[in-house]
Amino acid sequence: MANEGFGDYLTELFEPLGGVSMRRMFGGVGVFCDGLMFALLARDVLYLKSDGETDAAFEAEGCEPFSYEAKGERRVITSYRRVPERLFDETDDFAEWARGAFQVALRAENAKKAPRRRKSG
């Protein structure tokens, strides 16, 4: 992790979720709870997983999605959005947003597991 002190601070912030672990991946750090990645630390910026149910809250805070350049050709926009800076000083709100991001990860996981309907005809 580029900034170990920041990583330690994040561990404290995520503590209310219980059982959170961090693993290096793709040049960043994935944040996991119950085996699901719900946050990403990249270039010392924290991002939380978002979807159609939570995007508006991030947009209202001016929080852009994490993106990267794939093979130097195109920009890939992910489902992770930058954490509002104010949350680092408001630990109860941080925990609420983190729980929301975990719920997004759960919805995504459940959508993967849902049986797909076959088209008839």
pLDDT of residue 112: 85
Q: How far is CA 65 from the centre of its chain?
A: 10
Q: How far is CA 12 from CA 3, 22, 55, 82, 106, in A?
A: 15, 12, 25, 19, 22
In order of their start, the domains of the chain are 4-110 (3.30.1460.30)
To the nearest whole number, what is the mean pLDDT of the chain?
Answer: 89
- Report the predicted TM-score, pTM, of the whole model to 2 decimal places: 0.87
Q: Beta strand 45-49 with 28-33: parallel, antiparallel or unpaired?
A: unpaired
Closest CA to 9 of 66, 87, 61, 96: 87
Q: What is the pLDDT of residue 30?
A: 94
pLDDT of residue 120: 58
